[in-house]
Structure 1
Amino acid sequence: MNLTKYLKLFGFLIVLGPLVSCNVNNKLYNVNDFGAVGDSTIINTKAIQSAIDACSKNGGGTVLISKGIYISGTVLLKNNVTLHIDENSKLVGSSNPIDYQSIDTFIDATGQERGTCLIGAMNAKNIGIVGKGIIDGNGAAFLQKNLIQKMKTLGIEETKNFGKNRPFLLRFVKSSKINLKDITLKQAAAWACHFYQSNSIIVNNITIYNHANKNNDGIDLDSSHDAVITHCNINSEDDAICIKSTSPLPTYNVKIDNCNLKSDWGAIKFGTESMGDFYNIDIRNSKVYDTKGGGIKILSVDGANIHNITIDSIEMNNVDMPIFIRLGERLRTYRDSEIQPVGSITDIKISNVNAVTRSLEHSRVNPPTGIFITGTPNHKIGTINLENIKIKLPGGGLKANVVEVLEDEKKYPEFTFFGVLPAYGIYGRHIENLNIGTTTFNIATKDERKSIIFDDVESHVIDRSKLKAIINE
């Protein structure tokens, strides 16, 4: 299905239609004409920014980077500008933190200062980054040992602030009509692509490889809305695609389709920064593979009300904890916002999931569990619908493995912290309504734990006769 048909199918054409062409004005601005040199040594920040400024001032068009490797610090896109990076061309982030600027600086859930970026946009409209070239964040330069060496080279005295705010690769703040297409994003010092309080977003056919540093997310939609992400390949050290809200504003009207995701932490994730609500989010027809920290993770811990979420037709292979849903009471705040009341999770539909978990020796929790859903004693999860879920597990659980499953309402919401669960298939607690259709758990070896355990689940619907016949114990 092409992008236009996809947008029509989900009713996004009116909102996002102008982005299919991105810019009516096709005037071309070559960065070389503004003094940029693609020799992999010269810092081209001023030249590239001058090309962008001239393009926007004259009504918009395309800024072209071609024939070379261009080093740069922070450049900011302006209204009606599309940055085109030609095939076999590369834009590389400077190794010097001084070459970057921070826009809308904030502190994330890990306590780290964020805001710098290689390419940014603030209050910009009708912008894009396209082409078959590469944007490389040079993230390894911001590892602590490399920063120390850089300070010595520059003759800078030791300071804790040097390189503290590690650059994102792309960062869009309070911007709209954003188009990313065909580009390859590599090796950021932090997140690869961050949309904050932005809207009318199309991300199509991009590739992300992000393993140069820590907290290397792929795509983060943060208090943003009206976004379509299709046909993307993401391989990240941290979350691959993350729905979050570091402000009380919601993230909503999101469509994700036909993506291939690999992560060392979580592939499809909601949270953990979760002040604003998440709703009207549709994720389907995607593959998750070789993922160490969770396939689907839906987490409300800072006050988000999560509802009207559909996740359908997901293939997972070699994945820790295929489905993890957590309502918690951490209630962290960001950007000097007021603390939110405890949120909610309801009207979640997950269907047609075929998953194979990681082996015993490679599972972060050994032995693993397929599905873990938990609210808290005072704040139950609402309605969860699971249909046609098939999960292959290694088994091997012993009764002696099982530990008490603590509540830990205020703790960081990670399934590994709960330890070995008492059920290998589904462990669910503090839930109002849990509806389970056809569900299959295949275990490779005997597991002494129960297949399903519910604790404080007010209402559940399961076809017991069918379930009993299809669990291979």
Structure 2
Amino acid sequence: MKVINMLTKLNTIIILLIASFSCQSQVLEMSVLDHGAVNDGETLTTKAIQNTIDKVSEKGGGVVKVPKGVYLCGTILLKDNVTLHLEKGAEIIGSYYLKDYYNIDPFTDAVGQKRGNCLVGAKDAKNIAITGKGVINGRGEYMIFGKGERSKRPFLVRIVGCTNVEIRDVVVRNSAAWTIHLFQSKKVNIDGIRLLSQSEQNGDGIDIDSSQDVVITNCDINAHDDAICFKTTSPVPTKNCKVSNCLLSSSWGAIKFGTESMGNFENIEVSDCYIYDTKGGGVKILSADGANIKNLNIHDLEMNDVEMPIFIRLGSRLRTYRDAEKQAVGSMNGIKISNIKIHGKRYKEWRMAPASTIFITGIPEAKIKNVRIENIDAKMYFAGTADVVDKVVPENERKYPEYLKFGVLPAYGAYIRHTENIQIKNFKINTVEQEQRHLIKIDGVKGFKLDGIYTEKDEGAVTPIAIANSSDTVIKNVNISGSTSDNHIQYDK
């Protein structure tokens, strides 16, 4: 009997534990429609959505459901442990009026604009998410600005100082400024979103700014400005980030580090992405304001219709942000770029004609070190003439670090200057038109190794490889059809 009583008590305890666990596992859900939101697309419903978010957070967290319909909003802020879930057919649209937004973290960007307003934001929150098959539409092309207000146009999604963030499956579009801005945030996962932001010239896609442990996967990004941009508008580094399996298109850069670059960039991997219809650079790695860049691994990319495929720049603009102290000139040490297939920009909408395939330049007092580029297969569409082969390329140490500032380069395959220990291995390049510039030119380089280059020498072209003011150079496995081995290299003072 005692045994039976003990078993009965044990069963009771188990049942109570199961019931308790079942209750705990139920996720709190609240619909914005049950708390006063209006989905007619005309009634400003910011307060109702915000009240729903606040109530869910106050109760310990859960899901704020946005059912089918159109919801007109100004700034709404996510709070701790809240998921904003937009059901299929649901659309949050931004107000036309700046008065309906506010600034959750003011700062001034690289071109002097005061920024920080947003449509959907979060500050110092944890365990937040935006999910679902719905749409967040900033309607940036329709916003109304008073005199001097344009620089205050709102970002679409702004995450500031947050931890454990997920953005999944939603469509984000037509931001009035940057589309998704992550600032000083940690443990962020962005997966499967579609980003369409062509309504504003400064419409970046995703900006990872002084943030860590960020993963971006399976995204389709078509942005007017940089598609994915790593920034540091504070001395806090951007590090431990991965981008993979994304479609990227941009009217400027597809994958970009900088230009805002006070803090370091460390341990970042970009892989398995398709870059297309990009009028600026495919991969742009820029330290202008003191950033030390190290341990970048960029591999297995395909670029189609891209003007300047690879641009790496170390400069000394040294702009400051957020009242931080000015940094010393930065550094680059440990960059690997590999397995890149390139189709250059066709003859339309050129920003600079002709462009080059690879452009790497430090400055005399700060050299780029330890860059390895291998397995590049490029087909470029340009017709450079021999009158630029002796051009003195400007230093532009303190200018905005954009390749357009340097003009047409003396080499179409790679122009490399002010560097140490640069390796290029297995570089195949062909041009559609007859190219008369150097294939490769290095200037002020210590420790350059070229192992395996394959191309055709166009009739009338100058010596393929030009070496100036450089030392410790190793060049082997040069395969240039139509050219004899004794005229591959030109040495200049």
State if a TM-score over 0.5 links the two structures: yes
Q: Is the 8 A contact 2:212 2:239 kept in 1?
A: yes
Post-superposition offset of 1:271: 0.2
Identify which range, 298-307 or 457-466, moves more after superposition.
Answer: 457-466
Amino acid at match of 2:343: V
Matches within 5 A, 1:139-150: 139-142=140-143, 146-147=144-145
Q: CA deviation digits over 1:39-93, x for unaligned, max 9?
A: 0100011000000000000010000111210000000000000000011110001
Q: Is the 8 A contact 1:405 1:418 kept in 2?
A: yes
Residue from 350, 363, 372 that aligns with 1:363: 350
Matches within 5 A, 1:33-432: 33-142=34-143, 146-147=144-145, 159-161=147-149, 163-401=150-388, 403-432=391-420
Structure 2 CA distance for aligned equivalents of residues 471 and 425 of structure 1: 17
Q: Is the 8 A contact 2:332 2:369 kept in 1?
A: yes
Structure 2 CA distance for aligned equivalents of residues 244 and 424 of structure 1: 29
Amino acid at match of 2:398: K
Post-superposition offset of 1:387: 0.7
Structure 1 CA distance for aligned equivalents of residues 290 and 55 of structure 2: 43
Report how many aligned residue pairs link the two structures: 437
Structure 2 CA distance for aligned equivalents of residues 453 and 363 of structure 1: 23
Structure 2 CA distance for aligned equivalents of residues 45 and 199 of structure 1: 27
User: 1:417 is paired with a residue of what secondary structure?
Assistant: helix
Structure 1 CA distance for aligned equivalents of residues 397 and 423 of structure 2: 24
Amino acid at match of 2:41: S
Q: Is the 8 A contact 1:93 1:118 kept in 2?
A: yes
Q: CA deviation digits over 1:22-48, x for unaligned, max 9?
A: x96621110011100100100011000
Post-superposition offset of 1:160: 2.6
Post-superposition offset of 1:401: 4.5
Post-superposition offset of 1:214: 2.1
What's the counterpart of residue 13 of structure 2?
A: none
Structure 2 CA distance for aligned equivalents of residues 206 and 395 of structure 1: 35
Q: CA deviation digits over 1:245-265, x for unaligned, max 9?
A: 000000000011100000000
Post-superposition offset of 1:213: 1.4
Q: What's the Cα RMSD here?
A: 1.6
Post-superposition offset of 1:147: 2.7
Residue from 420, 428, 432 that aligns with 1:440: 428
Question: Aligned pair in 2 of structure 1 residues 89, 392: CA closer, same or farther (>3 Å)?
Answer: same
Task: Could you tell me which runs of 5 or more consecutive residues in structure 2 were left unpaired when the two chains were aligned.
Answer: 1-23, 452-474, 489-493
Residue from 464, 479, 482 that aligns with 1:468: 479
Identify which range, 206-215 or 247-256, moves more after superposition.
Answer: 206-215
Structure 1 CA distance for aligned equivalents of residues 258 and 75 of structure 2: 27
Structure 1 CA distance for aligned equivalents of residues 313 and 320 of structure 2: 18
Structure 2 CA distance for aligned equivalents of residues 302 and 24 of structure 1: 48
Post-superposition offset of 1:462: 1.3
Identify which range, 396-405 or 265-274, moves more after superposition.
Answer: 396-405
Q: Is the 8 A contact 1:330 1:411 kept in 2?
A: yes
Question: Aligned pair in 2 of structure 1 residues 468, 287: CA closer, same or farther (>3 Å)?
Answer: same
Q: CA deviation digits over 1:1-25, x for unaligned, max 9?
A: xxxxxxxxxxxxxxxxxxxxxx966
Q: CA deviation digits over 1:247-289, x for unaligned, max 9?
A: 0000000011100000000000000000000010011000000
Post-superposition offset of 1:140: 1.0
Give the structure-2-normalised TM-score.
Answer: 0.87
Q: CA deviation digits over 1:277-333, x for unaligned, max 9?
A: 001001100000000010000000000000000000000000011000000000000
Amino acid at match of 1:128: A
Q: CA deviation digits over 1:180-213, x for unaligned, max 9?
A: 0000000000000000000000000001000111
Identity %: 48
Q: Is the 8 A contact 2:253 2:280 kept in 1?
A: yes
Amino acid at match of 1:293: G
Task: Could you tell me which runs of 5 or more consecutive residues in structure 1 were left unpaired when the two chains were aligned.
Answer: 1-22, 149-158
Post-superposition offset of 1:465: 4.4
User: 2:280 is paired with a residue of what secondary structure?
Assistant: coil
Whose Rg is larger? 2
Post-superposition offset of 1:119: 0.5
Amino acid at match of 1:302: D
What's the counterpart of residue 9 of structure 1?
A: none
Post-superposition offset of 1:368: 1.4
Question: Aligned pair in 2 of structure 1 residues 191, 285: CA closer, same or farther (>3 Å)?
Answer: same
Question: Aligned pair in 2 of structure 1 residues 25, 219: CA closer, same or farther (>3 Å)?
Answer: farther
Q: Is the 8 A contact 2:353 2:382 kept in 1?
A: no
Structure 2 CA distance for aligned equivalents of residues 300 and 315 of structure 1: 24
